[in-house]
Amino acid sequence: MDLFYNGNVFTGDSFVEAFVVDGNHFVATGRSEELLEKYSYATKHNLNNKFVCAGFNDSHMHVLNDGYSLETIQLAGHTSSLKEMKEYIAEEVKSRQIKDGQWIRARGWNHDFFTDVNRFPTRYDLDEISQTNPICIVRACGHACVVNSKALEMIGIDKNTKQVDGGRFDVDENGEPLGIFRENALDLVYAKLPQPTREDLKQMLILAMKQLNSFGVTSAQTDDFVVFHGLDYHEIIQAYEELKEEGRMTVRINQQNHFTNLKSLKEFVEEGHYTGLGDEFFRFSPLKMLGDGSLGARTAFMSAPYADDPSTCGIPVYSQETFDEMIGYAHNHNMQVAIHSIGDGILDRIMNAIEKAQNENPREDARHGIIHCQITRPDQLDRMAKLNLHCYAQTIFLDYDIKIVEDRVGKEKAASSYNFKTLMKKGVHVSNGSDCPVELPNVLGGMQCAITRSTLKEHIGPYLPEEAFTVKEAILSFTTEAARASFEEKIKGKIEKGMLADFVILDENLFEVDPYHINDVKILQTWMNGKQVY
Ligand SMILES: [Zn+2]
Protein backbone atom coordinates (compact mmCIF):
# COMPACT_ATOMS: atom_id res chain seq x y z
CA MET A 1 0.00 0.00 0.00
CA ASP A 2 1.32 3.45 -0.98
CA LEU A 3 0.23 6.77 0.49
CA PHE A 4 0.95 9.96 -1.46
CA TYR A 5 0.48 13.10 0.62
CA ASN A 6 1.15 16.81 0.69
CA GLY A 7 0.32 17.33 -2.99
CA ASN A 8 -1.90 19.38 -5.29
CA VAL A 9 -3.95 16.49 -6.54
CA PHE A 10 -6.56 17.15 -9.23
CA THR A 11 -8.93 14.19 -9.05
CA GLY A 12 -10.83 15.05 -12.22
CA ASP A 13 -13.54 16.86 -10.22
CA SER A 14 -11.80 18.70 -7.40
CA PHE A 15 -8.56 19.08 -5.48
CA VAL A 16 -7.30 16.87 -2.63
CA GLU A 17 -3.96 16.69 -0.83
CA ALA A 18 -3.46 12.96 -0.64
CA PHE A 19 -4.44 9.56 -1.99
CA VAL A 20 -3.79 5.91 -1.27
CA VAL A 21 -2.97 3.13 -3.75
CA ASP A 22 -3.51 -0.51 -2.88
CA GLY A 23 -2.33 -2.96 -5.54
CA ASN A 24 -3.49 -1.50 -8.83
CA HIS A 25 -6.35 0.67 -7.55
CA PHE A 26 -6.89 3.93 -5.71
CA VAL A 27 -8.52 3.15 -2.38
CA ALA A 28 -8.84 6.57 -0.77
CA THR A 29 -8.46 10.31 -1.37
CA GLY A 30 -8.56 13.15 1.10
CA ARG A 31 -6.57 15.45 3.39
CA SER A 32 -2.97 14.53 4.20
CA GLU A 33 -3.42 14.58 7.96
CA GLU A 34 -6.47 12.36 7.86
CA LEU A 35 -4.99 9.73 5.50
CA LEU A 36 -1.59 9.70 7.28
CA GLU A 37 -3.42 8.78 10.44
CA LYS A 38 -5.76 6.24 8.89
CA TYR A 39 -3.13 4.53 6.71
CA SER A 40 -0.12 4.90 9.04
CA TYR A 41 1.19 1.49 7.93
CA ALA A 42 1.38 2.43 4.19
CA THR A 43 4.63 3.32 2.40
CA LYS A 44 4.71 7.11 2.41
CA HIS A 45 5.58 9.39 -0.51
CA ASN A 46 5.81 13.12 0.18
CA LEU A 47 4.63 14.95 -2.94
CA ASN A 48 6.15 18.26 -1.76
CA ASN A 49 3.26 20.27 -3.18
CA LYS A 50 3.73 18.90 -6.67
CA PHE A 51 0.77 18.63 -9.06
CA VAL A 52 -0.82 15.24 -9.66
CA CYS A 53 -3.59 14.18 -12.03
CA ALA A 54 -4.82 10.98 -13.66
CA GLY A 55 -2.47 9.34 -16.18
CA PHE A 56 -2.89 10.70 -19.70
CA ASN A 57 -4.86 8.78 -22.30
CA ASP A 58 -4.05 9.44 -25.95
CA SER A 59 -7.31 8.68 -27.72
CA HIS A 60 -5.86 8.29 -31.19
CA MET A 61 -2.34 7.37 -32.15
CA HIS A 62 -0.23 4.61 -33.68
CA VAL A 63 1.88 2.88 -31.02
CA LEU A 64 3.49 0.31 -33.29
CA ASN A 65 4.20 2.82 -36.04
CA ASP A 66 5.69 5.09 -33.39
CA GLY A 67 8.06 2.33 -32.28
CA TYR A 68 8.89 1.66 -35.91
CA SER A 69 9.50 5.37 -36.51
CA LEU A 70 11.72 5.63 -33.45
CA GLU A 71 13.90 3.07 -35.19
CA THR A 72 14.02 5.14 -38.38
CA ILE A 73 15.98 8.33 -39.06
CA GLN A 74 14.02 11.22 -37.54
CA LEU A 75 13.86 14.20 -39.85
CA ALA A 76 11.50 16.41 -37.85
CA GLY A 77 14.27 18.66 -36.52
CA HIS A 78 16.21 18.67 -39.81
CA THR A 79 13.79 19.95 -42.38
CA SER A 80 14.60 23.68 -42.58
CA SER A 81 15.93 23.15 -46.10
CA LEU A 82 16.18 20.35 -48.63
CA LYS A 83 19.96 20.67 -48.34
CA GLU A 84 19.94 20.28 -44.56
CA MET A 85 17.65 17.25 -44.83
CA LYS A 86 19.91 15.52 -47.35
CA GLU A 87 23.03 16.20 -45.29
CA TYR A 88 21.38 14.89 -42.14
CA ILE A 89 20.29 11.64 -43.80
CA ALA A 90 23.81 11.12 -45.17
CA GLU A 91 25.31 11.69 -41.70
CA GLU A 92 22.86 9.25 -40.08
CA VAL A 93 23.57 6.59 -42.71
CA LYS A 94 27.23 6.87 -41.74
CA SER A 95 26.75 6.90 -37.97
CA ARG A 96 24.21 4.04 -38.02
CA GLN A 97 26.59 2.06 -40.25
CA ILE A 98 23.85 1.15 -42.72
CA LYS A 99 25.42 -1.35 -45.10
CA ASP A 100 25.40 -1.28 -48.88
CA GLY A 101 22.11 -2.55 -50.29
CA GLN A 102 20.18 -2.09 -47.01
CA TRP A 103 17.07 0.10 -46.88
CA ILE A 104 17.54 3.62 -45.58
CA ARG A 105 14.29 4.69 -43.90
CA ALA A 106 13.57 8.20 -42.66
CA ARG A 107 10.48 10.09 -41.59
CA GLY A 108 9.26 13.55 -40.63
CA TRP A 109 10.15 15.96 -43.44
CA ASN A 110 7.83 18.80 -44.38
CA HIS A 111 8.57 20.82 -47.51
CA ASP A 112 6.54 23.75 -46.15
CA PHE A 113 9.56 24.39 -43.89
CA PHE A 114 12.14 24.27 -46.70
CA THR A 115 13.77 27.67 -47.23
CA ASP A 116 15.76 26.73 -50.35
CA VAL A 117 13.11 25.12 -52.57
CA ASN A 118 9.32 25.18 -52.57
CA ARG A 119 8.49 21.60 -53.59
CA PHE A 120 8.57 17.94 -52.56
CA PRO A 121 11.96 16.22 -52.75
CA THR A 122 12.25 13.80 -55.71
CA ARG A 123 14.13 10.58 -56.52
CA TYR A 124 16.94 12.69 -58.00
CA ASP A 125 17.52 14.51 -54.72
CA LEU A 126 17.75 11.19 -52.88
CA ASP A 127 20.03 9.68 -55.52
CA GLU A 128 22.64 12.19 -54.34
CA ILE A 129 22.61 10.37 -50.97
CA SER A 130 22.88 6.85 -52.39
CA GLN A 131 22.44 5.01 -55.65
CA THR A 132 23.13 1.57 -54.16
CA ASN A 133 20.85 1.66 -51.08
CA PRO A 134 17.09 1.92 -51.56
CA ILE A 135 15.84 5.04 -49.71
CA CYS A 136 12.34 5.85 -48.49
CA ILE A 137 11.54 9.10 -46.70
CA VAL A 138 8.02 9.60 -45.34
CA ARG A 139 6.44 13.05 -45.03
CA ALA A 140 5.57 14.20 -41.47
CA CYS A 141 1.85 13.61 -42.16
CA GLY A 142 2.43 9.98 -43.18
CA HIS A 143 0.35 10.46 -46.33
CA ALA A 144 3.19 10.79 -48.83
CA CYS A 145 6.69 9.42 -49.28
CA VAL A 146 9.61 9.82 -51.65
CA VAL A 147 12.00 7.08 -52.78
CA ASN A 148 15.22 7.13 -54.79
CA SER A 149 15.91 5.47 -58.14
CA LYS A 150 17.30 2.28 -56.58
CA ALA A 151 14.06 1.81 -54.62
CA LEU A 152 11.94 2.56 -57.70
CA GLU A 153 13.82 -0.13 -59.56
CA MET A 154 13.19 -2.65 -56.73
CA ILE A 155 9.50 -1.68 -56.54
CA GLY A 156 9.28 -2.13 -60.30
CA ILE A 157 7.65 1.19 -61.17
CA ASP A 158 8.34 2.89 -64.48
CA LYS A 159 6.57 5.09 -67.03
CA ASN A 160 4.35 2.18 -68.10
CA THR A 161 2.96 1.47 -64.63
CA LYS A 162 -0.74 2.22 -64.14
CA GLN A 163 -1.91 4.61 -61.41
CA VAL A 164 -3.65 3.17 -58.31
CA ASP A 165 -7.16 3.79 -56.96
CA GLY A 166 -7.28 6.21 -54.02
CA GLY A 167 -3.73 7.41 -54.52
CA ARG A 168 -1.09 8.35 -57.07
CA PHE A 169 2.60 8.45 -57.85
CA ASP A 170 3.87 11.65 -59.42
CA VAL A 171 5.42 11.66 -62.88
CA ASP A 172 7.38 14.27 -64.86
CA GLU A 173 6.38 15.71 -68.25
CA ASN A 174 7.71 12.57 -69.99
CA GLY A 175 5.69 10.26 -67.77
CA GLU A 176 8.75 9.15 -65.77
CA PRO A 177 8.01 8.53 -62.06
CA LEU A 178 9.51 11.19 -59.79
CA GLY A 179 9.68 8.88 -56.76
CA ILE A 180 6.76 10.60 -54.99
CA PHE A 181 3.94 8.36 -53.73
CA ARG A 182 0.66 9.49 -52.16
CA GLU A 183 -2.12 7.77 -50.20
CA ASN A 184 -2.92 4.24 -51.49
CA ALA A 185 0.11 4.37 -53.79
CA LEU A 186 2.26 4.20 -50.62
CA ASP A 187 1.45 0.49 -50.50
CA LEU A 188 3.49 -0.04 -53.66
CA VAL A 189 6.54 1.04 -51.64
CA TYR A 190 5.64 -0.50 -48.29
CA ALA A 191 5.10 -3.93 -49.88
CA LYS A 192 8.82 -4.04 -50.63
CA LEU A 193 10.09 -3.18 -47.16
CA PRO A 194 11.44 -6.15 -45.14
CA GLN A 195 8.97 -7.79 -42.69
CA PRO A 196 9.57 -7.58 -38.92
CA THR A 197 9.64 -10.71 -36.72
CA ARG A 198 7.52 -11.09 -33.55
CA GLU A 199 10.58 -10.09 -31.49
CA ASP A 200 11.08 -6.99 -33.68
CA LEU A 201 7.44 -6.04 -33.07
CA LYS A 202 7.80 -6.40 -29.31
CA GLN A 203 10.95 -4.26 -29.33
CA MET A 204 9.14 -1.53 -31.26
CA LEU A 205 6.17 -1.62 -28.87
CA ILE A 206 8.43 -1.36 -25.83
CA LEU A 207 10.34 1.54 -27.37
CA ALA A 208 7.06 3.36 -28.00
CA MET A 209 5.58 2.61 -24.56
CA LYS A 210 8.72 3.94 -22.84
CA GLN A 211 8.48 7.13 -24.88
CA LEU A 212 4.77 7.46 -24.01
CA ASN A 213 5.47 7.05 -20.30
CA SER A 214 8.00 9.88 -20.49
CA PHE A 215 5.13 12.15 -21.66
CA GLY A 216 2.87 10.97 -18.83
CA VAL A 217 0.79 8.68 -21.03
CA THR A 218 -0.62 5.54 -19.39
CA SER A 219 -3.30 4.59 -21.95
CA ALA A 220 -3.19 4.66 -25.72
CA GLN A 221 -5.96 4.06 -28.24
CA THR A 222 -3.96 2.88 -31.17
CA ASP A 223 -4.34 1.94 -34.81
CA ASP A 224 -1.68 -0.74 -35.41
CA PHE A 225 -2.95 -3.27 -37.91
CA VAL A 226 -1.80 -1.73 -41.19
CA VAL A 227 1.72 -0.55 -40.41
CA PHE A 228 3.45 -3.32 -42.33
CA HIS A 229 2.12 -4.29 -45.68
CA GLY A 230 1.18 -7.95 -45.79
CA LEU A 231 1.90 -8.62 -42.10
CA ASP A 232 -0.90 -10.67 -40.53
CA TYR A 233 -2.43 -8.53 -37.76
CA HIS A 234 -2.67 -11.60 -35.51
CA GLU A 235 1.13 -11.29 -35.19
CA ILE A 236 0.64 -7.84 -33.68
CA ILE A 237 -2.06 -9.02 -31.28
CA GLN A 238 0.24 -11.89 -30.31
CA ALA A 239 3.15 -9.50 -29.67
CA TYR A 240 0.94 -7.54 -27.25
CA GLU A 241 -0.31 -10.76 -25.60
CA GLU A 242 3.26 -11.89 -24.97
CA LEU A 243 4.27 -8.52 -23.53
CA LYS A 244 1.24 -8.71 -21.24
CA GLU A 245 2.14 -12.19 -20.02
CA GLU A 246 5.73 -11.10 -19.46
CA GLY A 247 4.52 -8.13 -17.40
CA ARG A 248 6.14 -5.65 -19.79
CA MET A 249 3.11 -3.54 -20.70
CA THR A 250 3.60 -0.03 -19.31
CA VAL A 251 0.75 1.52 -21.31
CA ARG A 252 -2.81 0.23 -21.48
CA ILE A 253 -3.80 -0.46 -25.06
CA ASN A 254 -7.12 -0.05 -26.83
CA GLN A 255 -6.83 -1.32 -30.36
CA GLN A 256 -8.55 0.76 -33.02
CA ASN A 257 -8.96 -2.16 -35.38
CA HIS A 258 -8.09 -0.92 -38.83
CA PHE A 259 -9.62 -2.72 -41.81
CA THR A 260 -9.70 -1.67 -45.43
CA ASN A 261 -12.31 -4.07 -46.81
CA LEU A 262 -15.45 -5.86 -45.72
CA LYS A 263 -13.96 -9.33 -46.18
CA SER A 264 -11.20 -8.88 -43.59
CA LEU A 265 -13.55 -7.03 -41.20
CA LYS A 266 -15.99 -9.96 -41.44
CA GLU A 267 -13.25 -12.47 -40.69
CA PHE A 268 -12.25 -10.46 -37.64
CA VAL A 269 -15.82 -10.33 -36.34
CA GLU A 270 -16.42 -14.01 -37.12
CA GLU A 271 -13.35 -14.87 -35.04
CA GLY A 272 -15.33 -13.50 -32.11
CA HIS A 273 -14.03 -9.94 -31.84
CA TYR A 274 -16.25 -7.04 -30.78
CA THR A 275 -15.80 -3.63 -29.15
CA GLY A 276 -14.87 -4.06 -25.49
CA LEU A 277 -13.42 -7.58 -25.73
CA GLY A 278 -10.24 -7.90 -23.67
CA ASP A 279 -9.01 -6.63 -20.33
CA GLU A 280 -7.64 -3.41 -18.86
CA PHE A 281 -4.22 -3.99 -20.49
CA PHE A 282 -5.34 -4.84 -23.99
CA ARG A 283 -8.81 -4.32 -25.36
CA PHE A 284 -10.30 -4.43 -28.86
CA SER A 285 -12.06 -1.11 -29.40
CA PRO A 286 -13.66 0.40 -32.54
CA LEU A 287 -13.39 -0.39 -36.21
CA LYS A 288 -10.98 2.23 -37.55
CA MET A 289 -11.12 3.35 -41.16
CA LEU A 290 -9.24 5.99 -43.03
CA GLY A 291 -11.38 8.60 -44.76
CA ASP A 292 -8.98 10.91 -46.50
CA GLY A 293 -5.48 12.35 -46.37
CA SER A 294 -3.99 15.41 -44.72
CA LEU A 295 -4.41 19.16 -45.03
CA GLY A 296 -0.66 19.72 -45.42
CA ALA A 297 -0.40 17.45 -48.46
CA ARG A 298 -3.79 18.70 -49.82
CA THR A 299 -5.11 15.13 -49.83
CA ALA A 300 -7.85 15.81 -47.24
CA PHE A 301 -11.12 15.52 -49.21
CA MET A 302 -13.12 18.76 -49.34
CA SER A 303 -16.64 19.46 -50.53
CA ALA A 304 -15.15 22.27 -52.66
CA PRO A 305 -11.73 22.78 -54.30
CA TYR A 306 -8.78 23.98 -52.19
CA ALA A 307 -8.57 27.76 -51.96
CA ASP A 308 -4.85 27.61 -52.76
CA ASP A 309 -5.11 24.93 -55.46
CA PRO A 310 -8.45 25.01 -57.33
CA SER A 311 -7.38 21.97 -59.40
CA THR A 312 -8.05 19.57 -56.51
CA CYS A 313 -10.58 18.68 -53.80
CA GLY A 314 -8.21 16.12 -52.27
CA ILE A 315 -8.52 12.33 -52.32
CA PRO A 316 -11.35 10.33 -50.74
CA VAL A 317 -10.13 6.88 -49.68
CA TYR A 318 -13.53 5.14 -49.95
CA SER A 319 -16.76 5.59 -51.87
CA GLN A 320 -20.10 6.15 -50.12
CA GLU A 321 -21.00 2.50 -50.87
CA THR A 322 -17.90 1.15 -49.13
CA PHE A 323 -18.50 3.32 -46.06
CA ASP A 324 -22.15 2.23 -45.96
CA GLU A 325 -21.18 -1.40 -46.22
CA MET A 326 -18.38 -1.46 -43.64
CA ILE A 327 -19.82 0.97 -41.11
CA GLY A 328 -23.19 -0.76 -41.40
CA TYR A 329 -21.65 -4.19 -40.84
CA ALA A 330 -19.62 -3.04 -37.82
CA HIS A 331 -22.64 -1.25 -36.36
CA ASN A 332 -24.76 -4.40 -36.67
CA HIS A 333 -22.07 -6.56 -35.03
CA ASN A 334 -21.52 -4.78 -31.72
CA MET A 335 -18.71 -2.65 -32.96
CA GLN A 336 -18.13 1.01 -32.43
CA VAL A 337 -16.63 2.83 -35.43
CA ALA A 338 -14.02 5.61 -35.39
CA ILE A 339 -13.30 7.10 -38.78
CA HIS A 340 -10.46 9.39 -39.83
CA SER A 341 -11.90 12.57 -41.33
CA ILE A 342 -9.97 15.75 -42.06
CA GLY A 343 -11.89 17.38 -44.93
CA ASP A 344 -15.58 18.29 -44.82
CA GLY A 345 -16.22 16.32 -48.01
CA ILE A 346 -15.34 13.00 -46.45
CA LEU A 347 -17.16 13.89 -43.21
CA ASP A 348 -20.42 14.07 -45.21
CA ARG A 349 -19.93 10.52 -46.49
CA ILE A 350 -19.02 9.15 -43.05
CA MET A 351 -22.02 10.76 -41.36
CA ASN A 352 -24.32 9.54 -44.16
CA ALA A 353 -23.14 6.00 -43.48
CA ILE A 354 -23.52 6.27 -39.70
CA GLU A 355 -26.97 7.82 -40.03
CA LYS A 356 -28.04 5.06 -42.40
CA ALA A 357 -26.77 2.37 -40.01
CA GLN A 358 -28.57 4.00 -37.06
CA ASN A 359 -31.82 4.37 -39.02
CA GLU A 360 -31.81 0.71 -39.99
CA ASN A 361 -30.78 -0.57 -36.57
CA PRO A 362 -30.94 2.04 -33.81
CA ARG A 363 -28.31 1.56 -31.09
CA GLU A 364 -28.57 3.78 -28.05
CA ASP A 365 -24.95 4.27 -27.02
CA ALA A 366 -22.84 3.11 -29.95
CA ARG A 367 -20.36 6.00 -29.43
CA HIS A 368 -19.32 6.11 -33.04
CA GLY A 369 -16.73 8.79 -33.58
CA ILE A 370 -14.83 11.04 -35.91
CA ILE A 371 -11.05 11.03 -35.67
CA HIS A 372 -9.37 14.42 -36.38
CA CYS A 373 -12.56 16.29 -37.29
CA GLN A 374 -10.67 19.30 -38.60
CA ILE A 375 -12.37 21.00 -41.52
CA THR A 376 -16.08 21.28 -40.72
CA ARG A 377 -19.04 23.35 -41.82
CA PRO A 378 -21.56 24.69 -39.27
CA ASP A 379 -24.27 22.26 -40.48
CA GLN A 380 -21.89 19.36 -39.84
CA LEU A 381 -21.27 20.42 -36.24
CA ASP A 382 -25.02 20.19 -35.61
CA ARG A 383 -25.25 16.87 -37.39
CA MET A 384 -22.45 15.41 -35.27
CA ALA A 385 -24.36 16.35 -32.13
CA LYS A 386 -27.60 14.96 -33.53
CA LEU A 387 -25.93 11.65 -34.36
CA ASN A 388 -24.37 11.53 -30.89
CA LEU A 389 -20.87 11.21 -32.30
CA HIS A 390 -17.65 11.32 -30.33
CA CYS A 391 -14.89 13.67 -31.48
CA TYR A 392 -11.29 12.39 -31.29
CA ALA A 393 -9.44 15.72 -31.59
CA GLN A 394 -5.71 16.41 -31.84
CA THR A 395 -5.31 19.97 -30.60
CA ILE A 396 -1.53 19.65 -31.06
CA PHE A 397 -2.23 19.88 -34.83
CA LEU A 398 -3.03 23.57 -34.31
CA ASP A 399 0.70 24.13 -33.84
CA TYR A 400 1.21 23.61 -37.57
CA ASP A 401 -2.24 23.98 -39.10
CA ILE A 402 -2.82 27.52 -37.83
CA LYS A 403 -0.26 28.63 -40.41
CA ILE A 404 -1.96 26.97 -43.38
CA VAL A 405 -5.66 26.51 -42.66
CA GLU A 406 -6.92 29.82 -44.12
CA ASP A 407 -4.75 29.43 -47.22
CA ARG A 408 -6.01 25.91 -47.79
CA VAL A 409 -9.75 26.32 -47.22
CA GLY A 410 -10.38 30.08 -47.18
CA LYS A 411 -11.46 32.35 -44.33
CA GLU A 412 -15.08 31.30 -44.17
CA LYS A 413 -14.57 27.58 -43.81
CA ALA A 414 -11.58 28.11 -41.49
CA ALA A 415 -13.94 29.91 -39.10
CA SER A 416 -16.08 26.81 -38.54
CA SER A 417 -13.14 24.37 -38.46
CA TYR A 418 -11.25 22.98 -35.45
CA ASN A 419 -14.44 24.00 -33.59
CA PHE A 420 -13.91 21.73 -30.62
CA LYS A 421 -15.39 24.03 -27.99
CA THR A 422 -18.47 24.62 -30.12
CA LEU A 423 -18.86 20.86 -30.44
CA MET A 424 -18.60 20.50 -26.65
CA LYS A 425 -21.26 23.17 -26.17
CA LYS A 426 -23.53 21.23 -28.51
CA GLY A 427 -23.09 18.20 -26.26
CA VAL A 428 -20.42 16.33 -28.23
CA HIS A 429 -17.78 14.60 -26.10
CA VAL A 430 -14.29 15.63 -27.22
CA SER A 431 -11.23 13.58 -26.33
CA ASN A 432 -7.69 14.48 -27.26
CA GLY A 433 -4.64 12.77 -28.71
CA SER A 434 -1.53 13.22 -30.80
CA ASP A 435 -1.89 10.91 -33.81
CA CYS A 436 1.73 10.05 -32.94
CA PRO A 437 4.03 9.49 -34.85
CA VAL A 438 2.48 12.30 -36.92
CA GLU A 439 3.26 14.45 -33.85
CA LEU A 440 5.20 13.59 -30.70
CA PRO A 441 2.84 12.11 -28.08
CA ASN A 442 3.26 15.41 -26.29
CA VAL A 443 0.19 15.77 -24.07
CA LEU A 444 1.24 19.03 -22.42
CA GLY A 445 1.90 20.55 -25.85
CA GLY A 446 -1.58 19.44 -26.92
CA MET A 447 -3.06 21.05 -23.80
CA GLN A 448 -1.17 24.30 -24.43
CA CYS A 449 -2.51 24.47 -28.01
CA ALA A 450 -6.05 23.68 -26.79
CA ILE A 451 -5.92 26.45 -24.18
CA THR A 452 -4.02 29.15 -26.12
CA ARG A 453 -5.15 28.27 -29.69
CA SER A 454 -1.66 29.44 -30.68
CA THR A 455 1.49 27.79 -31.95
CA LEU A 456 3.84 26.43 -29.29
CA LYS A 457 7.02 28.38 -29.98
CA GLU A 458 6.28 31.64 -31.80
CA HIS A 459 2.78 31.92 -30.26
CA ILE A 460 1.23 32.67 -33.64
CA GLY A 461 -2.48 33.10 -33.09
CA PRO A 462 -4.81 32.90 -31.40
CA TYR A 463 -6.85 31.16 -34.10
CA LEU A 464 -10.55 31.28 -33.11
CA PRO A 465 -9.86 32.13 -29.42
CA GLU A 466 -13.54 31.49 -28.60
CA GLU A 467 -12.78 27.80 -29.26
CA ALA A 468 -10.19 27.70 -26.44
CA PHE A 469 -10.47 25.05 -23.72
CA THR A 470 -10.20 25.86 -20.04
CA VAL A 471 -7.34 24.13 -18.19
CA LYS A 472 -9.85 21.72 -16.71
CA GLU A 473 -11.36 20.89 -20.11
CA ALA A 474 -7.87 20.34 -21.54
CA ILE A 475 -6.97 17.88 -18.76
CA LEU A 476 -10.30 16.07 -19.02
CA SER A 477 -9.86 15.74 -22.80
CA PHE A 478 -6.77 13.62 -22.08
CA THR A 479 -8.27 11.70 -19.13
CA THR A 480 -11.99 11.22 -18.51
CA GLU A 481 -13.15 12.04 -22.04
CA ALA A 482 -10.53 9.74 -23.54
CA ALA A 483 -11.64 6.97 -21.17
CA ARG A 484 -15.20 7.56 -22.31
CA ALA A 485 -14.15 7.08 -25.94
CA SER A 486 -13.31 3.45 -25.11
CA PHE A 487 -16.31 2.93 -22.76
CA GLU A 488 -13.93 2.84 -19.77
CA GLU A 489 -14.91 6.00 -17.89
CA LYS A 490 -15.99 3.89 -14.92
CA ILE A 491 -12.56 2.28 -14.45
CA LYS A 492 -9.99 4.96 -15.32
CA GLY A 493 -9.38 8.64 -15.93
CA LYS A 494 -9.87 9.92 -12.40
CA ILE A 495 -8.07 9.74 -9.07
CA GLU A 496 -10.95 8.26 -7.18
CA LYS A 497 -11.60 5.27 -4.95
CA GLY A 498 -12.01 2.13 -7.07
CA MET A 499 -10.34 3.52 -10.21
CA LEU A 500 -7.18 2.03 -11.72
CA ALA A 501 -4.09 3.61 -10.18
CA ASP A 502 -2.71 5.45 -13.22
CA PHE A 503 -1.36 8.90 -12.45
CA VAL A 504 1.27 11.45 -13.30
CA ILE A 505 3.27 13.80 -11.07
CA LEU A 506 4.16 17.17 -12.61
CA ASP A 507 6.62 19.83 -11.55
CA GLU A 508 4.04 22.65 -11.66
CA ASN A 509 0.33 23.14 -11.16
CA LEU A 510 -1.31 23.28 -14.61
CA PHE A 511 -4.05 25.53 -13.22
CA GLU A 512 -1.51 28.13 -12.08
CA VAL A 513 1.27 28.09 -14.64
CA ASP A 514 1.22 30.62 -17.52
CA PRO A 515 -0.78 28.81 -20.27
CA TYR A 516 1.96 29.65 -22.78
CA HIS A 517 4.39 27.61 -20.66
CA ILE A 518 2.35 24.47 -20.06
CA ASN A 519 4.49 22.70 -22.63
CA ASP A 520 7.58 23.46 -20.50
CA VAL A 521 6.22 21.78 -17.36
CA LYS A 522 8.29 18.73 -16.47
CA ILE A 523 6.83 15.26 -16.09
CA LEU A 524 8.43 14.03 -12.84
CA GLN A 525 6.93 10.54 -12.51
CA THR A 526 4.40 8.35 -14.31
CA TRP A 527 2.59 5.50 -12.52
CA MET A 528 0.54 2.82 -14.26
CA ASN A 529 -1.37 0.05 -12.52
CA GLY A 530 0.09 1.11 -9.16
CA LYS A 531 3.69 0.88 -10.39
CA GLN A 532 6.14 3.59 -11.30
CA VAL A 533 6.90 3.32 -15.03
CA TYR A 534 8.77 6.61 -15.49
ZN1 LIG B 1 -3.96 8.33 -37.21
Nearest to 209 by CA among 165, 258, 253: 253
Percent of residues, the chain, with pLDDT higher than 70? 100
Rounded to 5°, the CA angle 182-185-191 comes to 125
Q: How far is the CA of 126 from the centre of ligand 1 (A)?
A: 27
Instruction: Write out pLDDT tens, residues 131-142.
Output: 999 999 999 988
Distance 26 CA to ligand 1 centre (A): 32
What integer pLDDT is reported at residue 96 of this predicted model? 84
Distance from Cα 16 to the centre of ligand 1, integer Å: 36
pLDDT digits (tens, 9 = 90+) for 427-451: 999 999 999 998 999 999 999 999 9
pLDDT for the residue numbered 200: 87
Residue 184 Cα to ligand 1 middle (Å): 15
Cα 19 to middle of ligand 1, angstroms? 35
Strand order in 25-30's β-sheet? 25-30, 18-22, 2-5, 43-46
| Residue 488 alpha carbon to ligand 1 centre in Å | 21
Per-residue pLDDT at 168: 94
pLDDT digits (tens, 9 = 90+) for 21-35: 999 999 999 999 999
Lowest mean pLDDT among 14-28, 183-197, 406-420, 515-529: 183-197
What was the pLDDT predicted at 43?
A: 98
Average pLDDT score over the chain: 96
- 60 CA distance to ligand 1 centroid (A)? 6
pLDDT at site 102: 86
Strands (E), 6-119: 8-10, 15-16, 18-22, 25-30, 43-46, 51-54, 56-61, 73-74, 104-109
Query: In this predicted structure, what is the pLDDT of residue 27?
Result: 98
Supply the pLDDT for residue 422.
98
**Ligand 1 midpoint to CA 62 (Å):** 6
Ligand 1 mean position to 340 CA, how many Å? 7
* Chain segment 222-247, per-residue pLDDT in tens: 999 998 878 999 999 999 999 999 99
pLDDT (0 to 100) of residue 263: 97
Q: Report, as an integer, the average pLDDT of 283-297.
A: 95
Q: d(Cα 289, Cα 340) in Å, to the nearest integer? A: 6
Cα of 266 to ligand 1 centre, how many Å? 22
- Between CA 484 and CA 67 the distance in angstroms is 26
Q: How far is the CA of 61 from the centre of ligand 1 (A)?
A: 5
In this prediction, residue 97 carries a pLDDT of 84
- Are 377 and 344 in contact, with CB atoms under 8 Å apart? yes
In what order do the strands lie in the sheet containing 430-432? Answer: 56-61, 217-222, 252-258, 282-289, 337-341, 369-372, 390-393, 430-432
Using the mean position of ligand 1's atoms as its centre, give its distance from the Cα of residue 158 in Å.
30
Of residues 219 and 200, the one with the higher pLDDT is 219
> Residue 129 above 90 pLDDT?
yes
Using the mean position of ligand 1's atoms as its centre, give its distance from the Cα of residue 6 in Å: 39
The string of pLDDT tens digits covering residues 297-323 is 899 999 999 999 999 999 999 999 999
Least-confidence region, from 7-11, 154-158, 262-266, 520-524: 154-158
Q: What is the mean pLDDT of residues 138-166?
A: 93
> In angstroms, what is the span from residue 9 Cα to ligand 1's centroid?
32
* Residue 124 reports pLDDT greater than 90: yes
pLDDT at 193 > cutoff 90: no
Q: Ligand 1 centroid to 341 CA: how many Å?
A: 10
61 versus 103: the higher-pLDDT residue is: 61
Q: What's the gap in Å between 227 CA and the centre of ligand 1?
A: 11
Of 54, 58, 49, nearest to 12 (Cα)? 54
Residue 104 confidence class, pLDDT cut points 50, 70, 90: very high
User: How far apart are the CA of 65 and the centre of ligand 1, in A?
Assistant: 10
- φ, ψ for residue 481 (rounded to 5)? -70, -35
> How far away, in angstroms, is 438 Cα from ligand 1 center?
8
300 burial (CB, 10 Å; 0-12 / 13-18 / 19+) is: buried
* Ligand 1 centroid distance, CA of 494 (Å): 26
Report whether 205 contacts 240 (CB < 8 A): yes
Distance (Å) from CA 258 to ligand 1 centroid: 10
Averaged pLDDT, 366-378 = 98
Distance 406 CA to ligand 1 centre (A): 23
What are the start-end ranges of the E strands in 81-142?
104-109, 135-139
pLDDT at position 169, please? 96
Q: State how beta strands 217-222 and 56-61 pair.
A: parallel
Q: What is the pLDDT of residues 324-344, one digit of tens each?
A: 999 999 999 999 999 999 999
